[in-house]
């Protein structure tokens, strides 16, 4: 059997914490997984108690040998290397209370493994960079007062038969959808591949490549695999399913997704501190490799013009 729990949280308490695409992400992932044969439990804008109840129901449904799939779209954070998925009913989390007021992703992975599934797939499309927030980091975003909190998620090592897919690299932030973008950058691409008859590892690898392109190099998905066998969620017979064909026809192209302006400002402010690693630095941020050289050339030209003007006779 295929069992799945899908959670999408948009409606966070404070205005600058709210998201636009996570419920749509969860709805579309729910539809995609149902089409390919999963028994799906879906929660939207879920407070902690509802999240705990749904998680327990999901765990109890898993039988030995099942394929288990957990998907979360919303806000997340890390404390001391432990990843927490934030419910929608909390505004004042601190380092002492977060273990009781958010969903511990590592603990969930251990609990699923105890049910002895044939394969457990965890997809974490969180650590949002909210384009409408003025806060410089997720710590300020939620009012975290401890330096032990870090932006983004920490890499996790899953037990055997586990695949963990992150929307972005460790300690980094991902782009949620906004405006005319129904889905986040990561989920939009994943939905195109997850209903196709290909090995699940290939699904996530192709997704990562496309997300890197559609975000201009800003977002780099990360994948942790502890599973050596080929695994297909979709077989060739399922491709002819009319519901699957309708789902694919209804999908819009993904991107481009534009990085928030505050991240572009950070790039400009750090130009003078970039040295011999300029090529790698530019590639990391999706900028032209000759960006620094163009800036330097412009400065040289301006300096030369100023010298020439100083040598000209004063006509006044």
Residues 206 and 272 in one domain: no
Rounded CA-CA distance 16/25 in Å is 20
Containing domain of residue 265, as a range? Answer: 257-287
Residues 33 and 173 in one domain: yes
pLDDT at 183: 92
In a domain? residue 300: no
Whether the pLDDT of residue 14 is over 80: the answer is no
Residues 45 and 131 in one domain: yes
Whether the pLDDT of residue 294 is over 70: the answer is no
Residues 49 and 152 in one domain: yes
What would the mean pLDDT of 270-281 be, rounded to a whole number? Answer: 31
Whether the pLDDT of residue 181 is over 60: the answer is yes
pLDDT confidence band for 150 (50 / 70 / 90): confident
In a domain? residue 311: no
In a domain? residue 275: yes
Q: What is the sign, positive or negative, of the torsion defined by CA atoms of 131, 135, 137, 139?
A: negative
pLDDT at 134: 38
Helix (H) or strand (E) holding 115: none
Residues 52 and 200 in one domain: yes
Residues 224 and 283 in one domain: no
Task: Give the pairing type, strands 82-85 and 76-79.
Answer: antiparallel
pLDDT at 297: 46
Rounded CA-CA distance 215/207 in Å is 12
Residues 9 and 126 in one domain: yes
DSSP code of residue 258:
P
Boundary-marking domain end, from 238, 256, 274: 256
Residues 52 and 128 in one domain: yes
Residues 137 and 278 in one domain: no
Is residue 62 within 8 A of residue 117, CB to CB? The reply is: yes
Whether the pLDDT of residue 266 is over 70: the answer is no
pLDDT at 280: 33
pLDDT confidence band for 302 (50 / 70 / 90): low
- Give pTM, 2 decimals: 0.78
Locate 206 and state its tokens.
């192709």
Rounded CA-CA distance 58/5 in Å is 6
- Name which of 72-76, 78-82, 91-95, 115-119 the model is least confident about: 91-95
Please provide the distance, in angstroms rounded to a whole number, between the alpha carbons at the two ends of the chain.
89
The more confident residue out of 216 and 147 is 216
Residue whose structure tokens are 């729910």? 30
pLDDT at 312: 53
Is residue 103 within 8 A of residue 109, CB to CB? The reply is: no
What would the mean pLDDT of 270-276 be, rounded to a whole number? Answer: 30
Residues 139 and 247 in one domain: yes
Is residue 286 within 8 A of residue 279, CB to CB? The reply is: no
CB burial readout 207-237, b (16+ within 10 A) else e: bbebbbebbeebbbbbeeeebeeebebbeee
Locate 179 and state its tokens.
């405006």
Rounded CA-CA distance 42/3 in Å is 11
- pLDDT, tens digit, 9 for 90 and up, residues 48-58: 999 999 999 99
Rounded CA-CA distance 84/71 in Å is 14
Q: Is-cis flag, bond preceding 256, omega within 30?
A: yes
Residues in the chain: 316
- Name which of 10-14, 133-137, 159-163 the model is least confident about: 133-137
- Give the count of domains, the chain: 2
Residues 220 and 274 in one domain: no
Residues 69 and 201 in one domain: yes
Rounded CA-CA distance 70/7 in Å is 8
Helix (H) or strand (E) holding 199: none
Residue whose structure tokens are 């954070």? 77
Q: What is the CATH number of the domain that holds 240?
A: 3.40.50.1460
User: What is the percent of the chain where pLDDT is above 90?
Assistant: 47
Boundary-marking domain end, from 234, 256, 278: 256
What would the mean pLDDT of 236-241 be, rounded to a whole number? Answer: 83
């Amino acid at each position: 059997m295929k069992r799945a729990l899908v959670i999408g949280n948009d409606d966070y308490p404070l205005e600058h914490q709210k998201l636009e695409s996570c419920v749509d992400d969860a709805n579309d992932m729910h539809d995609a997984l149902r089409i390919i044969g999963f028994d799906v439990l879906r929660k939207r804008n879920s407070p902690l108690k509802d999240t705990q109840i749904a998680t327990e129901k999901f765990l109890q449904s898993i039988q030995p040998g099942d394929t288990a799939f957990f998907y979360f779209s919303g806000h997340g954070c890390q404390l001391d290397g432990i990843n927490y998925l934030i419910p929608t009913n909390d505004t004042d989390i601190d380092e002492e209370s977060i273990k009781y007021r958010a969903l511990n992703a590592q603990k969930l992975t251990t609990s699923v493994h105890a049910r002895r599934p044939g394969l457990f797939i965890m997809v974490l499309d969180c650590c949002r960079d909210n384009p409408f927030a003025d806060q410089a980091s997720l710590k300020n975003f939620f009012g975290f007062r401890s330096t032990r909190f870090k932006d983004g998620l920490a890499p996790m090592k899953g037990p055997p038969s586990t695949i963990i897919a992150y929307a972005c690299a460790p300690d980094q932030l991902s782009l949620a959808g906004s405006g005319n973008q129904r889905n986040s950058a990561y989920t939009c691409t994943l939905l195109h591949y997850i209903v196709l008859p290909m090995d699940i590892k290939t699904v996530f690898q192709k997704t990562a490549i496309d997300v890197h392109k559609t975000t201009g190099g800003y977002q780099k998905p990360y994948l942790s695999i502890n599973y050596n066998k080929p695994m297909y969620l979709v077989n060739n017979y399922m491709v002819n399913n009319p519901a699957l064909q309708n789902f694919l026809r209804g999908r819009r192209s993904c991107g481009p997704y534009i990085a928030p302006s505050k991240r572009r400002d950070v790039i400009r402010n750090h130009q003078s501190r970039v040295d011999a690693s300029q090529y790698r630095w530019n590639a990391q941020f999706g900028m032209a490799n000759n960006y620094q050289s163009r800036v330097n050339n412009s400065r040289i030209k301006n300096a030369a013009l100023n010298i020439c003007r100083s040598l000209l006779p004063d006509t006044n």
